[in-house]
Structure 1
Amino acid sequence: MKTKFKQLPSLSMGLFLGLTTLSITAHADIADAEDSRSQAATVDTSAPIAALSKLTSLDDAKPLKVTVPKIQQFKTKAGVPVLFVPTTALPIVDIDLRFNAGSARDSSIKQDGFGIANMTATMLEQGSKRLDENEFTRAVETLGVNLSSSAYKDMFMVSLRSLSDDKHLLPASDLMTQMITEPSFDEQILARNKARLLVGLQQQKQDPNSLASIAFSQALYGEHPYAHPSVGTLETVPTIEKKQLVDFKNRYLVAANASVAMTGNLTLEQAKKLAESITAKLPTGQPAAELPEPKSLSTSKHIHIPFPSTQTTVLMGQLGSKRATNPKDQQQQTNFAVGNEVMAGGDFNARLMTEIRQNLGYTYGISGSMNPMLARGPYQIGFSTRNDKARAAIDASLDVINETLDTGITSDEMQLTTDNLKNSFPMGFASNAGINGLLGMMNFYQLPNSYLSDYVNRIDQVKLSEVNQTMRSTLQPDDFLIVTVGQDDPWKDKKTSN
């Protein structure tokens, strides 16, 4: 059984989706380094290397022309919207079936029933009414397909990757249909899952990042459905019952609440038949109710969680934005993505990384991201630092943010970022999985097909004054929620060493 601790879906093209992620990789090949040093001794370094001193090849670069995947759109007889992109390079098909049914719906099944959606997703993979757990697993492995289900805050997703020939795809799609419409929810397996998940939740207490994330969400969202962890808690997981899983499936895994994304080696006619076969047995049902909007904190709040460690984990931020569905708001989110990449992006050119890591040496990495969802998602900045430097690092980070908001980013910083965004844009649909992730996101949030085709245009429409204004109107660092997990409370003694 796969214990699911995922909180957010894995989405392609972080900045394109309004997200910024940090990834720092350091490695060295000793032999190559030794060889480089020996060569350097014989090279005349007084003369500049032309290729490195100036990227002359970019002087006459023409504007990037991008041909985005051609999206075909249709609905099944059950009314489920489908986005499809045919690709013939590989004999593979990717399918995402998404429901407006994440862990934010747990309490609608049972008051404080945290973990119901996650447990439902776990058990969809563990047998159907026709095949027990072992038989189902054997069928999946025999076909060599990837078949999984996951619950996040907003969405519930069932995914399939299979070879595109009928010998593999047809039985694979039948297994997918069994998962969704005929899960067994075996009582013994449920008991085993709960026991394993409780062990995982106990272990989570030893992870400062998990502790910070849970505390941040609870403090930021209060009574809102986003406040609780998707996997549930030590108190709620033992109370999950089979009936609640059945109720969740019957209420939310329905045609009126579904969307499909398909990418792969299929014709349009084949895609339509496949979509029909997957959705035909779904109950019609009703769309999920709109989630309430969370309320912003009225003032700054500091939370410290004692933890025996030489490092303090810091998570700071505020309520962010919801997923934009109209051109005006989409442009605003693009403006913010550009400004935030300059200020808090994960690369070494970002202002926070430059100051907090390189100049002050407080951390190995710091980054901030906006996570728009159906309701307002969080904006978060995170890093770890030595216990005795925690308050100084927090204050220095806030200084960088405030200075960025006060003086704005520069035109050179904006140009570098927009060039990067445009030039990296095609990477988002360089694979079937990348394309399907974009299709699934667009269909789930009911975005028009032009959302993808207009991306480069939105980047070109970015103006420096509007970027800076958007940053100022979005972020309120004086009211940030700040969570720290470490040995000492950074606010216990305001006198910190520098």
Structure 2
Amino acid sequence: MMLRLAAALILFALPVRADVQIQDVTSPGGIRAWLVESHELPFTALEIRFRGGTSLDPEGARGAVNLMTGLIEEGAGDLDAQGFARARDALAASFSFRPSADAVAVSAEFLTENRDAATDLLRLALVSPRFDAEAIERVRGQVLSGLASDAKDPTSISGRVFDEQAFGAHPYGSQGEGTPESVRALTREQIVAAHKAALARDRIYVAAAGDITAAELGTLLDRLLGDLPAEGAPMPGRAEWRVGGGVTVVDFPTPQSAVRFGHAGIKRDDPDFFPAYVLNEILGGGGFGSRLMTEVREKRGLTYGIGTYLAPMDHAELMMGHFASANATVAEAIGIVREEWRRAAAEGVTAEELAATKTYLTGSYPLRFDGNGPIASILVGMQMEDLPIDYPTTRNAKIEAVTLEDVKRVAAWLLKPDALHFVVVGQPEGVESDG
């Protein structure tokens, strides 16, 4: 309760700003982190990412990293799952562990008075998880329940099928959670191997924000992470894009079809990324002013929502979108998406659209820095994307520098209407698989 109160209060104690003062910290043991000090309240947020994530799963053990991550907090050292939970709650600390395709994320929040004890407890979870048989079966059951739910959800099915078609046998081509068959077959030995593969010092990114100095953070990092394995498993290779333009229909008894669409995207470090980012926001970035939202929802009422996004992942780049529409209207909606893709590729955007989007993107950016937790998360993301430490103070200038000519030039090569692939899960009228 104390930690939640402190977290709530800090939102009001700290000014909302993007010009945060970031320190580059290196621990005595050589672990690097970024830090934003803020001593208004005795509270610190720590964010750790281990690059690799569920894409490190070896062949035949899909879902191992996901299951392992779910077990980290289920007992460690001499504490079983209940003992660990009691120790964490007694410290008013908060820990979370989340896997994704490219990383395992660890978030921790603790009060200054409990910093040392919270660090020791988190270290126990990271370095010495127990992986007790009872905990494995309980968490395995939770994963299997989630997979069973996903198998009945058209939106989840559309994402799974799109990934399979786009990336084939690469880990990106299958669910990070695994399949029911692969999860049931996972052994404790494979879970232990996944822990050693994913949580290692050669892939750590760390940030902290709050009531801690650079010297204190350096000591904490060595204490927390110094005993992890020096090296983890090799990263997977490049995920080659395998699917061409067209439509795949997955028959599913539902009155509303779920649609996932996209094609290859752009790297985060491409010089044209910012024009592409602005272009995507105008085309379908999720706001009510986007072209797709206007044409598909506002003018025709074909969907409750439609959005597009750039996804520059570690081993592939995507430009993706999604929407749901009644079976009788999904064909019309797909046609509008294709037409708006063609129009933007041929014409670019208008001066009015560009000006409004710049205003929104630059005005909303500082609002992301609304507390220690979000700040620490942003700083880790910056490191993983190899952005400079002054990025928060220069980012809006990069948005402002985007011109109409930039957007038109990028739209002409990035947007590929004929390469758009649509996965439709439902019973759409007038839509058939063509490949």
How far apart in 1 are the matches of 2:332 and 2:242?
24
Superposed, 1:116-155 pairs within 5 Å as 116-155=64-103
Equivalent in the alignment of 1:193: 139
In structure 1, the gaps of 5 or more residues are 1-64
- The alignment-based identity, stated in percent, is 28
CA-to-aligned-CA distance 1:404-445 (integer Å, 9 cap, x gap): 111110111101111111111211212112211111112233
Is residue 354 of structure 1 aligned with residue 294 of structure 2?
yes
Equivalent in the alignment of 2:428: 488
Amino acid in the other structure paired with 2:254:
S
Task: Tell me by how many angstroms 1:112 deviates.
Answer: 3.0
Equivalent in the alignment of 2:63: 115
How far apart in 2 are the matches of 1:436 and 1:386?
41
Equivalent in the alignment of 1:253: 199
In structure 2, the gaps of 5 or more residues are 1-15
Amino acid in the other structure paired with 1:309:
T
Taking structure 2 as the reference length, the TM-score comes to 0.92
Equivalent in the alignment of 2:115: 169
Q: What RMSD over aligned residues (CA atoms) do the two structures have, in Å? A: 1.9
Equivalent in the alignment of 2:267: 322
Amino acid in the other structure paired with 1:275:
L
Task: Tell me by how many angstroms 1:301 deviates.
Answer: 3.5
Q: Which moves more between the two structures, 476-485 or 268-277?
A: 268-277
Is residue 366 of structure 1 aligned with residue 309 of structure 2?
no
How far apart in 2 are the matches of 1:493 and 1:112?
30
How far apart in 2 are the matches of 1:67 and 1:191?
44
Number of residue equivalences: 419
Is residue 71 of structure 1 aligned with residue 11 of structure 2?
no
Taking structure 1 as the reference length, the TM-score comes to 0.80
Aligned partners of 1:154 and 1:374 also within 8 Å: yes
Equivalent in the alignment of 2:401: 461
Equivalent in the alignment of 1:292: 237
CA-to-aligned-CA distance 1:456-491 (integer Å, 9 cap, x gap): 221122111111211221121211121001123642
Aligned partners of 2:46 and 2:373 also within 8 Å: no
Task: Tell me by how many angstroms 1:86 deviates.
Answer: 0.5
Change (3 A) 1:385 1:151: same
Task: Tell me by how many angstroms 1:147 deviates.
Answer: 0.6
Match 1:439 to one of 379, 383, 399: 379
How far apart in 2 are the matches of 1:78 and 1:228?
37
Aligned partners of 1:81 and 1:443 also within 8 Å: no
Is residue 338 of structure 1 aligned with residue 278 of structure 2?
yes
Superposed, 1:380-459 pairs within 5 Å as 380-459=320-399
Is residue 230 of structure 1 aligned with residue 182 of structure 2?
no
Aligned partners of 1:220 and 1:481 also within 8 Å: no
Q: Which moves more between the two structures, 249-258 or 484-493?
A: 484-493
Aligned partners of 2:263 and 2:319 also within 8 Å: yes
Superposed, 1:472-483 pairs within 5 Å as 472-483=412-423
Equivalent in the alignment of 1:59: none
Task: Tell me by how many angstroms 1:447 deviates.
Answer: 2.6
Amino acid in the other structure paired with 1:169:
R
CA-to-aligned-CA distance 1:317-350 (integer Å, 9 cap, x gap): 01223332xxxx2x42111111111111222211
CA-to-aligned-CA distance 1:345-386 (integer Å, 9 cap, x gap): 222211111111111111111110111121223321111111
User: SS at 2:57's partner residue?
Assistant: helix
Task: Tell me by how many angstroms 1:493 deviates.
Answer: 10
Change (3 A) 1:321 1:292: farther
How far apart in 2 are the matches of 1:97 and 1:128?
19
How far apart in 2 are the matches of 1:300 and 1:278?
48
Runs (4+) of structure 1 moved beyond 6 Å?
Answer: none
How far apart in 2 are the matches of 1:302 and 1:344?
20
Is residue 277 of structure 1 aligned with residue 228 of structure 2?
no
How far apart in 2 are the matches of 1:306 and 1:89?
56
How far apart in 1 are the matches of 2:355 and 2:236?
37
Q: Which moves more between the two structures, 482-491 or 136-145?
A: 482-491
Match 1:101 to one of 52, 75, 98: 52
How far apart in 2 are the matches of 1:488 and 1:356?
16
